[in-house]
Structure 1
Amino acid sequence: MFNPTPQQIAILSCNDNCVIDAGPGSGKTTTISHKINQVLSEIPWYQGVIAISYTNKASDQLKGKSKSICGDLKNSFFGTIDSFCIANIILPFGGRFFGNPDRKVKVEKFIEDETLLNKILHDLDRVLNLYKDITIDDIDHGKMRPIYDIKEEYLTFISNKFKEGLFDLRFVGCVAYLIFLSSKACRRFFKARFTHLFIDEFQDSGKEQYFLFLRVAELGIISWAIGDVNQSIFGFTNKSSKYLANLMVNKSFVLFPMNINHRCHPSIDLYGKVFLGITVDEEPDEINVFEAVIEGNECDLGTWFNNRIDLIKERFDVKDNSSIVIVARKDIHLELFSQSLTVPFKIHSKNFLDDDQSIWGSLFKRILDLAFDRRKTIYNFVNEYLNRELSSDGSKIRLISQLINHIRKICDEVLTGSQVDPKDIGDLFKKSALLLFPDSPNDFSVEKVEYMFKNPSLLEAFYPVETSQIQLMNLHKVKGLEYEIVIHLDLYNYVLPGFNYFSGGDTEELDAATHLHYVGITRAMKALLLLVGSKRYQQNRDRFISADKSMFLSGDVENYRLAWID
């Protein structure tokens, strides 16, 4: 049962544009889901909300929780910002400016000329900035069409490719925004269909998403931004917490704090606040943050942990190995650590489809997760894409269920070591995608699936976690997750923070490293162990060198952790 805190009650009572400053473990997904339920209960069937998450996995969680609360999501959209812009702006309205395509448009990365790509992106950014202070009313009264301010040769290139059925994924955000500004029909569609916009993890937004968010609010669609500037970790992809910070001081948005941590042991929550420089008055009754300084390198840290797994589990009343995660900044350090483990483990490295942000690519990841994990049901999968109450969806439901069952049987064969025909499996995936997303064909995604089945080791990323397995993942992967025990590695100067901070005073690197470490701290529910070795691996020279303990471990935080004692 949902028993909202006073902070959550205030948020749920808001019917205006707002910004939610949501700290770790604050229950933001639950709160957003209940707000969505409120909204959907008061609007007709043909309307809905836009609910944007940073990843497909996070979107699935929000959609699943919302559906469990309100049942009927009506005409809502749940997904990533790219998938939203593709499905609701570029594909339905792009033809008005680029010409009608002679085939279904594929959205993928197809431009190999980096010079051309960067020139076009630079020009799109120029046009975005031209209109940032011009209201929609002024654009309409002046009969402006911002998209036509793209340099002629680049607009011609984009148009010709669109008519050929190609659109580069890297143009999605900027071009969608310019179409939105240029098309009254697009904006009328938004107003007619959507009543609210929710964007989670706003601290990892780019400029074009920030601009689009403000424009949607300008239309009169109630818009909510949810995030935490201290958890912004994707700066290397041109995302920035500054856009969330801007909204926090924007008088057109009501600012709500949501800073009660329901996840972490109080001492872990306190440690994270002290690390960020937040003044705290309370003292923990019990400290569950520990530092262990060990002679040796990453492999020796692995040996130290391996010899104490049972002790650690017993001390903190943890039943399953899968409730323990090892986090580091770099995957190579996790690999070195894992070499000393004698217990089962799973390294969550980048999978072969991670870079495929197309609609079909995202679907195929979902299908692979479903195919290998029998805890997930075809019934629930189908419910996310089709409506069982519509007779027109009846045949599709039967067909997709048959296709997924067939794919599951083939995946079972892969698990037993049997050889399968990649073309056959590729055909099954293609048929599934054509049933659910016939207007977004992408043969490249199909080829990726076929390649994985030719190289079955690539499929291991989709195998379900077993309770006997220790989890290992980098600090970017662990964002949004929680574990009973977190073992934090890579706490060295020149790693956290990285080389650029010490060599050139790069403050962006310092901020990125600070946020990464904070994310690592706040994933822990029961206990946090900070492991530091006397040596560390230097990848660019393939050697172990003397390690310098991270500056993040010095200062006031030293008073809020204990030395580990067996």
Structure 2
Amino acid sequence: MVTFTVKASKELKKKCKKNGVNTKASFFGTIDHFCLSEIIYPFISQIYGATVIPLECKPYKDLDEELRTGLPDLGAEGIDLKTEDYNLYEPIIRELYSKRIIILETLGVLSVYVINNSSGCEKYIKSKYTSLYIDEYQDSSEPQHRLFISLLDFGLKAVAVGDIQQSIYAWRGSDPQYIQDLIDKPDVFEHHIVNINHRCHPSINNYANRLFNPKSAVQSTKEIRVYQWVLNGDQLSTVQQINGSIDKLINDGLTSSLSEVAILVRSNRSLKFVKDGLSVPFRVYSNDPLSSINTPTTKILNGLLFYYFDTTFLVNDVLEATEQFRTLSTMERKECRKIVKSLRDVPTGALKNKLITICQELIKVVITKIEKNALEKILDDEFILKQYKPINQNEVQVMTLHKSKGLEFDVVFHLDLYDWVFPKRKFTEGCYDEVFSNWEQELNLHFVGITRAKKYCILVSSTRRLNGRNEEKKRNKSQFMTIQGLPELHELYEQ
């Protein structure tokens, strides 16, 4: 079962287990994780030849300058590889492989090549899986779409779920056209339309649908639960004022716990305002250094951290991850179980060294300096470390709009609704017209944020804002707050 975010895949696996589903032989994870663990790591050696030391997956931006030679700027917006580009860049991809490097941005094209040229990979997929479920298909790139079709050709039963209005990753090659391609194959795919949102309160659905069509029909509802707030102050003082509102939500019984309250922001920069301004307990979901590296070692370290901090995470969960990279005999499995269990008795001061030792014993590789540094960053950062601990019912959930995808909360505070910020505008010398970077993608992202809310959605702006240079500017409302057809569908509160 392939999902778009790590958090969403964990939530899905948890729900399946709760319903009594045996998940041991199933895959739950992101498309990148699937490409690495099920295709590239086990089978690329059949095509490129074996490497003596483990492979390391790196984003293009982390490559040394000399290793980028001959490649396009894969870190730039709008630059993405298609499957037809593989032959052009194969010599460079092979050369980097000889240096044990796989570029994160090449995972799609490389996986398509491997799966179509490795008989061992085809046999493995056919023997292990009978069906494939992919969520958020509207955010698939061309290589990911080709990979899905290849898996379908292997005889797997396939289900793709997507919503064109939630397409938010065009900047990295995603295109909702690929889900339309599936719809246009009625002899292969049955197209089922789900046109009722059972998650959100009707007033939230009404508001969200009017973003795209000012004449969209509205559901009957006795009350409006979408609010536009304009608060005095800048981003920091806005967050400080939200503290009291969150307390009132709990006191009035509008939500059962703080964990059902989310604060969503447009960018990582805005996360700092939230960290500095919130006085209620909270948890921030930010980028994880281990997940960014994406090697077998970091996958095991990831699992070990969950096992140490979260008692609901089982030894079997760690062993399942281990067996993605190494076959264990009955005796080896018994010994590995004993090794993993010993982790829970380790004091936090000795945790780093013990994690490294156990990881190396489990998959029989030496941890690199980069992987050790990533582990240290996590252990030294209380906000990242919280992501490995069980959800605390007494913590507000804080994340970017992108990371909220696939999640749901009783109450959502949607911040960063300023002109220039969201939707993002382009500055053109001598031009006074409003020119947007990508109105459609930004509107889709706004839609995603609004529809995370089940009961109440609060859209927040303020009278001032700090720009990227920390200069105070008089704010103008986001254009999203003045779209035609919205006025009668929200309550307005201005200080």
Deviation string, structure 1 residues 356-396 (Cα, Å, up to 9, x no partner): 2223323323332332234x243563574589xx9944652
Matches within 5 A, 1:525-540: 525-539=454-468
Distance 2:382 2:261 in 1: 27
Deviation string, structure 1 residues 405-463 (Cα, Å, up to 9, x no partner): 42x444xx44xxxx44744442233334x1xxx58976643442145446677635544
User: Which of 252, 261, 279 matches 2:197?
Assistant: 261
Matches within 5 A, 1:470-485: 470-485=396-411
> RMSD over aligned Cα, in angstroms?
3.6
Q: Secondary structure at the match of 1:494?
A: coil
**Match status 1:430 vs 2:360:** yes
Give 1:297 shift.
Answer: 1.5
Percent identical pairs in the alignment equals 26
Corresponding residue of 1:57: 7
Corresponding residue of 2:267: 330
Distance 1:440 1:215 in 2: 35
Corresponding residue of 2:84: 129
Distance 2:151 2:317 in 1: 30
Corresponding residue of 1:112: 64
Corresponding residue of 1:495: 421
**Match status 1:549 vs 2:477:** yes
Residue identity in the other structure for 1:78: F
User: Which of 359, 362, 365 matches 2:296?
Assistant: 359
Q: What stretches of structure 1 of length at least 5 have no aligned partner?
A: 1-50, 131-146
Distance 2:37 2:246 in 1: 48
Distance 1:302 1:453 in 2: 27
The total of aligned residue pairs comes to 480
Q: Secondary structure at the match of 2:102?
A: strand
Alpha carbons 1:370, 1:378 under 8 Å: kept: yes
**Match status 1:295 vs 2:245:** no
Residue identity in the other structure for 2:444: H
Give 1:181 shift.
Answer: 2.9
Alpha carbons 2:300, 2:359 under 8 Å: kept: no
Give the TM-score normalised by the residue count of structure 1. Answer: 0.74
Corresponding residue of 2:45: 95
Please, which moves more after superposition, 353-362 or 112-121?
112-121
Residue identity in the other structure for 1:218: D
Residue identity in the other structure for 1:116: T
Residue identity in the other structure for 1:260: I
Deviation string, structure 1 residues 472-495 (Cα, Å, up to 9, x no partner): 221112222221111111111211
Residue identity in the other structure for 1:63: K
Alpha carbons 2:413, 2:457 under 8 Å: kept: yes
Note closer, same or farther for the CA distance 1:446–1:268 as it changes in structure 2 (3 Å cut): same
Give 1:508 shift.
Answer: 6.0
Deviation string, structure 1 residues 179-200 (Cα, Å, up to 9, x no partner): 3333455435444543322211
Corresponding residue of 1:80: 30
Alpha carbons 1:104, 1:441 under 8 Å: kept: no
Deviation string, structure 1 residues 123-166 (Cα, Å, up to 9, x no partner): x9888238xxxxxxxxxxxxxxxx7xx24xx5444445545644
Please, which moves more after superposition, 262-271 or 63-72?
63-72
Residue identity in the other structure for 2:159: W
Alpha carbons 2:137, 2:179 under 8 Å: kept: yes
Note closer, same or farther for the CA distance 1:240–1:368 as it changes in structure 2 (3 Å cut): farther
Q: What stretches of structure 2 of length at least 5 have no aligned partner?
A: none
Please, which moves more after superposition, 160-169 or 470-479?
160-169
**Match status 1:271 vs 2:223:** no
Corresponding residue of 2:145: 210
Note closer, same or farther for the CA distance 1:186–1:409 as it changes in structure 2 (3 Å cut): closer
Distance 2:313 2:82 in 1: 46
Alpha carbons 1:343, 1:469 under 8 Å: kept: yes
Alpha carbons 1:327, 1:488 under 8 Å: kept: yes
Deviation string, structure 1 residues 495-536 (Cα, Å, up to 9, x no partner): 110123997876662122112211111111111112221111
Residue identity in the other structure for 2:371: S
Alpha carbons 1:487, 1:530 under 8 Å: kept: yes
User: Which of 163, 167, 174 matches 1:239?
Assistant: 174
Distance 2:383 2:219 in 1: 50
Note closer, same or farther for the CA distance 1:161–1:201 as it changes in structure 2 (3 Å cut): same
Alpha carbons 1:272, 1:521 under 8 Å: kept: yes
Please, which moves more after superposition, 338-347 or 70-79?
70-79
Alpha carbons 1:111, 1:117 under 8 Å: kept: no
Residue identity in the other structure for 1:179: V
Distance 1:57 1:117 in 2: 35
Alpha carbons 1:370, 1:377 under 8 Å: kept: yes
Residue identity in the other structure for 2:183: M
Residue identity in the other structure for 2:156: I
Distance 2:356 2:149 in 1: 41
Distance 2:170 2:421 in 1: 16
Alpha carbons 1:83, 1:359 under 8 Å: kept: no
User: Which of 207, 216, 219 matches 1:282?
Assistant: 219
Alpha carbons 1:98, 1:158 under 8 Å: kept: no
